[in-house]
Chains A and B, each alone.
Chain A
């Protein structure tokens, strides 16, 4: 077996490959050679082979068969072997493979090796990829090395300790005694890593934080020495003494001083000194200044210092170096919440950064500008931001548009300005606005009543120019549908009114329907708008024609709408004006609120039997459908019924959403437990009755709704206090036969102008011989004060056989519905 080729040879060979396939072939050949060499357990050349394997791994080829070989190398006595072995372990192994645990013993031995470089290798490997088991086993060794006087090992041990703490936080206490004199080291490497270790401990545990606060004076002293010490050749970087260490110490000071007055006090002087003395002509100086500023902002510094910090940031903004400007913008963003006024002073510089060529800077400047907008500067800022929106990259447009909307909503000086701003955004970045902005805008427009004519006119003009931006088109067609009459009558006060005829408006809307640029959603909007105009415009025939054409559209959504509108023209023409009248002002309950209301009121009003009504259980739905069949079709609203008494009242609660302004305060509590015929339970039911009777007697007399085959159902009435349109009816079902009626279910249906809600019954067993009653509460909404009529269906099981009955209840006392 010839000696395996050297790493150098391999690299040279691979580099001659001209295609990916050639390279792959070479590598596969070499892998095969390496594999057979491993099998032969060749000790001399193992390190060479592993080195080659690592190279191939870097190029992206699989190298897992070398993992065990790395372990063998680590166990070898030669330094070379160990070096490449540990490197291989760090690159190829990780805690997911069980193989790595085999390393633990080797590392333990190596941590106690006589050569410091071997110890260093072991520490390095443990600190990079040590798993929690390994860390637990070896933490003691690491702690020992933390106390050694060898600075090379000490600094590595410190970072290894950080890794151990990250993996096994409970071990943090173990390292506490070793930290005692870490800071008195002279060696900067050790100081640096010690500060890192202290930082990690403070971040993880508030107790440690409190404990280490006493180190603040020492840290301040070290920092002072660094600044004042003058030129020290070994640590000098561009005239500044060990900037990395300064930055680390400043960071630790930040954590220590964060909410603590005393520590912050102790730091004030040194921070001011660093801030004023550091040279800013080179990057290192700026790095230190930047860190100082961040520290000043985070601790409880005095206000003079804070102003100094923000001024430094302001100076950074004017620097030519892009990195500095980026960093300044980032920190200003962090501080704008707390020191708003100070940052405002730099507003003009920030706005200038919007015009920078660098994408990262532009993004930061945009975020910061939105944070700086307030009531005073809204007009000026908005001008700049809109200009930015015009010219920025597409990736920014969505965020910028949302930001503009939010800012306009919070600080708009006048409604007209608000609408103008929105129009501007829609016309310039219309295709990038988020989906929820359309309903929000519609709600905004509806609520600014006096601006309707102006708005619809501007939107119409915008539509004439360009119909490609969907959100704009959707909002415009909705407005034209609502306020088309204002448009045609030329009533606009704010602007010169334009002369538009009805036909022109319909031309535009029909154009939207046929255009290729319109999405299906937009088409839906424009069809509905055309329909609404049928009540606002005089000429209806054209509209009728359009609507009937789309009755056979391929798009199902469009077809459904067209068919329903057609039906509206044909069968329900008397209802059309009522249905298509102006939208009321919408309540803005939550940011999602308007969307829901808009959906239910606007687009689905016409289709009553649509599946937008939430049906909590399928069974009642079937029963409801039965009722519908029974009661002959379309003139009844299906009622959602809770069949089992165990169903909580919240099922009925879903109806509450549909009923909109019904403020239901929960009514009498439905019985939650299993139906039983225990007297105590019935007594409860009974005892609640007199209450009702009293109230009912005072207001409305009770009545008997049904009395047949031993089952008697009485109705008692009550008005729900907050809303006089709601009548609360309690049914009392009693059974005069000799056997109990089980599985008793009461259902009711009312004509369409009413709405009905059934709460859970008290039980579904009506005890025999009038021993008790089943009560159930019905709430009826009767906004039009029409005569209350009801059809009821009763099902129960008597003596093992099921019984079903239907009845109509017409004898409601007049007071119950007037």
Chain B
């Protein structure tokens, strides 16, 4: 079972946190801090497995992480999951994000936290792996997004096209995406 999934950046700021087991709020933040502390110390050429810190629960749990440019993707799992399999899963998840966001970068995760959650929901459910086929996941997320858009989306702006376009802040979006130093390069398939 996957106990939690954490994404944070090189300074420890959380970008996505998902716990599949109950922890109080302060506990959650403490776990994030401790995990960041453990993971950031690691050199780049050591193995991606860490015995979990004492907070997140004892001997059966491991931290499996991958570092992509400015982001750490950390999965805390127990012994019922294959370690190498989880590494592959992280790769699948990141590639899915890449497909959904078109060259995903940290800013995408920052501003579309809810969408990242929805994508994650299609991959992992209740701490267990649901779907690993990238295309399938992307297709389902797309369909759901379309449903949402037809209702006017999260911003609940009026359904009229003009105001919708006005509210999308079209001119600004391209500028936001290309801030060079926060770009994640997700190499296609070579880490496999």
Q: State which of A6, A247, A322 has its C-beta within 8 Å of the C-beta of B47.
A: A322
Contact between chains at A156 and B125 (CB < 8 Å): yes
Contact with A along B118-132 (1 / 0, CB 8 A): 100100011111111
The yes or no answer to A344 lying at the interface (CB within 8 A) is: no
Contact with A along B31-55 (1 / 0, CB 8 A): 0000000000001011111110000
Contact between chains at A62 and B25 (CB < 8 Å): yes
Q: How many whole Å from A50's CB to the nearest CB in chain B?
A: 9
State in angstroms the CA–CA spacing of A359 and B38 once bound together: 12
Q: How many whole Å from B71's CB to the nearest CB in chain A?
A: 15
State in angstroms the CA–CA spacing of A188 and B84 once bound together: 20
Contact between chains at B125 and A127 (CB < 8 Å): yes
State in angstroms the CA–CA spacing of A55 and B83 once bound together: 30
Classify the secondary structure of B's interface with A: mixed
The yes or no answer to A39 lying at the interface (CB within 8 A) is: no
State in angstroms the CA–CA spacing of A247 and B16 once bound together: 28
Contact between chains at B128 and A290 (CB < 8 Å): no
The yes or no answer to A48 lying at the interface (CB within 8 A) is: yes
Contact between chains at A192 and B126 (CB < 8 Å): no
The yes or no answer to B154 lying at the interface (CB within 8 A) is: yes
B48 contacts across to A, CB distance below 8 A: 322-323
The yes or no answer to A152 lying at the interface (CB within 8 A) is: yes
Contact between chains at A287 and B88 (CB < 8 Å): yes
State in angstroms the CA–CA spacing of A11 and B107 once bound together: 11
A62 contacts across to B, CB distance below 8 A: 25
Contact between chains at B140 and A152 (CB < 8 Å): yes
Contact between chains at B45 and A47 (CB < 8 Å): no
Contact between chains at B82 and A159 (CB < 8 Å): no
Contact between chains at A162 and B111 (CB < 8 Å): no
A322 contacts across to B, CB distance below 8 A: 45-48
Contact between chains at B82 and A291 (CB < 8 Å): yes
Contact between chains at B25 and A60 (CB < 8 Å): yes
**Chain B, 160-177, CB within 8 A of any chain A CB:** 167, 169
Contact between chains at B148 and A234 (CB < 8 Å): no
**Chain B, 175-192, CB within 8 A of any chain A CB:** 189, 191-192
Contact between chains at A242 and B192 (CB < 8 Å): no
- Comparing A75-83, A373-381, A430-438, the segment that makes contact with chain B is A75-83
Considering only CB atoms, which chain B residue lies closest to A287 in the complex?
B84
A15 contacts across to B, CB distance below 8 A: 110
The yes or no answer to A642 lying at the interface (CB within 8 A) is: no
Contact between chains at B128 and A189 (CB < 8 Å): no
State in angstroms the CA–CA spacing of A471 and B170 once bound together: 72
State in angstroms the CA–CA spacing of A83 and B113 once bound together: 13
State in angstroms the CA–CA spacing of A59 and B12 once bound together: 11
State in angstroms the CA–CA spacing of A735 and B154 once bound together: 100
State in angstroms the CA–CA spacing of A62 and B133 once bound together: 36
The yes or no answer to A7 lying at the interface (CB within 8 A) is: yes
The yes or no answer to A58 lying at the interface (CB within 8 A) is: yes
Query: Interface size (B, Cβ < 8 Å)?
Result: 59
Contact between chains at B156 and A360 (CB < 8 Å): no
State in angstroms the CA–CA spacing of A200 and B22 once bound together: 21
B51 contacts across to A, CB distance below 8 A: 360
Contact with B along A241-273 (1 / 0, CB 8 A): 011110100010000000000000000000000
Query: Interface size (A, Cβ < 8 Å)?
Result: 72
A777 contacts across to B, CB distance below 8 A: none
Contact between chains at A188 and B133 (CB < 8 Å): yes
Contact between chains at A323 and B85 (CB < 8 Å): no
State in angstroms the CA–CA spacing of A51 and B148 once bound together: 14
**Chain A, 37-75, CB within 8 A of any chain B CB:** 44-45, 47-48, 51, 54-55, 57-60, 62
Considering only CB atoms, which chain B residue lies closest to A282 in the complex?
B192
State in angstroms the CA–CA spacing of A360 and B167 once bound together: 51
State in angstroms the CA–CA spacing of A91 and B169 once bound together: 29
The yes or no answer to A325 lying at the interface (CB within 8 A) is: yes
Contact between chains at B84 and A327 (CB < 8 Å): yes
Q: State which of B46, B153, B169 has its C-beta within 8 Å of the C-beta of A80.
A: B153
State in angstroms the CA–CA spacing of A20 and B92 once bound together: 35
Q: State which of A11, A45, A244 has its C-beta within 8 Å of the C-beta of B132.
A: A244
Task: Please list the 10 inter-chain residue pairs (A to B) with the smallest Cβ-Cβ separation, ordered nearest first.
Answer: A287-B84, A322-B47, A127-B126, A358-B46, A238-B192, A244-B132, A326-B47, A60-B29, A282-B192, A94-B22
Using A283-B84, A286-B84 as known contacts, list a sample of 18 further A-B pairs with CB atoms less than 8 Å apart, ordered by residue number in A. A7-B154, A48-B154, A48-B156, A54-B114, A58-B113, A79-B147, A79-B151, A96-B22, A156-B125, A159-B130, A189-B132, A251-B82, A290-B82, A322-B45, A323-B49, A323-B84, A326-B47, A327-B84
A and B contact pairs by CB, cutoff 8 A, 26 listed:
A6-B167, A7-B111, A8-B111, A11-B110, A48-B154, A51-B114, A54-B114, A59-B14, A60-B14, A62-B25, A83-B148, A117-B144, A124-B126, A156-B130, A163-B126, A188-B133, A192-B131, A192-B132, A237-B88, A244-B132, A245-B132, A287-B82, A287-B87, A290-B82, A323-B47, A360-B50
Residues of B within 8 A of A (CB): 14, 16-18, 20, 22, 25, 28-29, 43, 45-51, 82-85, 87-89, 92, 110-111, 113-114, 117-118, 121, 125-133, 135-136, 140, 143-144, 147-148, 151-156, 167, 169, 189, 191-192
